[in-house]
């Protein structure tokens, strides 16, 4: 064991003892923690906001994020002050919350074979959990398509906000997680798995584009559909299609791994473009997964459930969903018994 060599890139989180010989390894470690957030890398930890960590994670940030980050800078510094004052309480609350959420996730994961209709998702989300609506217990706020897939209105005709993350955002907003082709090279062990998937299977492609068209196309006349969504989708897909079609050998190419993706990327401009698509896709997936608590629903469903609740619409009278109602009822009973943590209180904690 060569400790000095190993310690060249220590993890900046104080509770974490990990250290790496290569910077990319440290980055992979942090990316993984962005998703799993163990007790040494809590989502609220101020280390996430340090310049060192931000620079390490840079490849995973959309260019468009920077101005948003700057706008949030003030908010973050006050969050950091609060964190310093209440660290102990947070850690304990996080532990309790994590246990409850784990139980909740376990229950909601049982819904995966039952949820067939949006109306069922909605009626579940509108149910009561420990005196609070399940929806509000699971989500502090609704997702917003205008944040997730913005259509900028700053041009004369309303310029579209487009980059290589736009198409992934359509996939994660409109399609269920089961059909997302997620393959995270950070978790892929090249020593154990000698049969990596084809690169093309790790990226959203034309079939998913077509599926989304069925939802967003103006002819489908979904009254929820935002004006211009189909145009945005078409333009967003062009960016992806151009790269996917450019090199016919992608069909027979295996996915790169966490050790060689950087050198692989430098092989040619085509390689660079497709690696960038992969990271654009994975960064959007990571962001979306954070928002999906019953991980089987779509962002679209959640946002619509919020709207339905605000409008006071009651789906119960429609009576179509009776076949599964026993199971749903039993699940709802178990959900009700759970002591769901309330919204975080940032002030006045002792």
Binding site for Zn ion (CB under 5 A): 11, 13, 16, 18
Rounding to the nearest 10 degrees, give the CA dihedral for residues 12, 16, 21, 25.
-80
| Alpha helix stretches (DSSP H) within 204-268 | 206-216, 229-246, 261-265
**Nearer to Zn ion among residue 18 and residue 295 (C-beta):** 18
For residue 29, the minimal CB distance to Zn ion (Å) is: 6
Nearest to 301 by CA among 139, 144, 122: 122
Q: Which is nearer to Zn ion, 18 or 247 (CB)?
A: 18
Comparing CB distances to Zn ion, the nearer of 13 and 173 is 13
Which residue, 53 or 175, has its beta carbon nearer to Zn ion? Answer: 53
In whole angstroms, the minimum distance from the beta carbon of 202 to Zn ion comes to: 26
d(CA 312, CA 306): 10
| Maximum separation of any 2 CA atoms in the chain, in Å | 68
CB of 18 to Zn ion, least distance (A): 5
Q: What is the DSSP string of 125-156?
A: HTSEETTEEHHHHH-SS---HHHHS-----ST
Shortest distance in whole angstroms from residue 34 CB to Zn ion: 11
DSSP-derived 3-state class of residue 228? coil
| Cβ neighbourhood burial of 333 (10 Å; 0-12, 13-18, 19+) | exposed
Q: How near is the Cβ of 26 to Zn ion at its closest, in Å?
A: 8
Residue 10 three-state SS: strand
Residue 242, both tokens: 């151009």
Measured CA to CA in angstroms, residue 205 lies from 149, 180, 183, 186, 324 at distances of: 18, 10, 14, 22, 34
CB of 55 to Zn ion, least distance (A): 16
Residue 243 Cβ vs Zn ion, minimum distance, rounded to whole Å = 34
Nearer to Zn ion, 14 or 131 (CB): 14
Q: Is 312 helix (H, G, I), strand (E, B) or coil?
A: coil
Q: Which is nearer to Zn ion, 16 or 231 (CB)?
A: 16
- Closer to Zn ion at the Cβ: 11 or 149? 11
Span between the terminal Cα atoms of the chain, in Å: 45
Query: Which CB sits closer to Zn ion, 39 or 117?
Result: 39
Q: What sign does the dihedral 119-324-129-289 (CA atoms) show?
A: negative
Q: State the nearest-atom distance from the C-beta of 13 to Zn ion, in Å.
A: 5
Separation CA 137–CA 128 (nearest Å): 9
């Amino acid at each position: 064991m060569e400790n000095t060599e190993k310690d060249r890139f220590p993890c900046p989180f104080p509770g974490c003892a990990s250290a790496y010989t290569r910077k990319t390894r440290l980055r992979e470690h942090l990316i993984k923690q962005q998703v799993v957030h163990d007790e040494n890398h809590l989502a609220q930890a101020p280390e996430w906001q340090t310049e060192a960590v931000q620079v390490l994670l840079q490849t995973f940030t959309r260019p468009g994020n920077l101005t948003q980050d700057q706008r949030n800078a003030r908010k973050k510094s006050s969050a950091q002050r609060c964190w310093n004052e209440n660290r102990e309480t947070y850690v304990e609350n996080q532990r309790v919350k994590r246990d409850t959420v784990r139980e909740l996730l376990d229950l909601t994961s049982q819904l995966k074979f039952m949820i067939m209709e949006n109306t069922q998702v909605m009626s579940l989300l509108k149910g009561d959990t420990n005196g609070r609506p399940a929806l509000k217990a699971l989500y502090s706020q609704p997702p917003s398509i205008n944040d997730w897939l913005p259509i900028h209105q700053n041009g004369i005709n309303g310029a579209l906000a487009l980059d290589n993350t736009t198409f992934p955002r359509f996939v994660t907003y409109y399609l269920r997680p089961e059909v997302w082709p997620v393959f995270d090279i950070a978790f892929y062990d090249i020593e154990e798995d000698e049969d990596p998937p084809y690169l093309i299977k790790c990226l959203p492609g034309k079939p998913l584009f077509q599926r989304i068209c069925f939802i967003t196309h103006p002819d489908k006349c979904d009254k929820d559909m935002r004006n211009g969504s189909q145009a945005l989708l078409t333009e967003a897909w062009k960016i992806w299609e151009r790269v996917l079609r450019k090199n016919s050998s992608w069909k027979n190419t295996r996915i790169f791994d966490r050790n060689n993706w950087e050198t692989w990327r430098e092989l040619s401009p085509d390689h660079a473009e497709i690696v960038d698509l992969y990271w654009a896709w994975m960064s959007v997936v990571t962001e979306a997964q954070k928002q999906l608590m019953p991980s089987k629903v779509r962002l679209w469903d959640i946002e619509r459930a919020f709207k339905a609740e605000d409008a006071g619409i009651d789906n119960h009278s429609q009576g179509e969903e009776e076949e599964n109602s026993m199971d749903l009822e039993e699940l709802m009973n178990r959900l009700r018994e759970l002591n769901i943590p309330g919204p975080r209180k940032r002030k006045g904690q002792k």
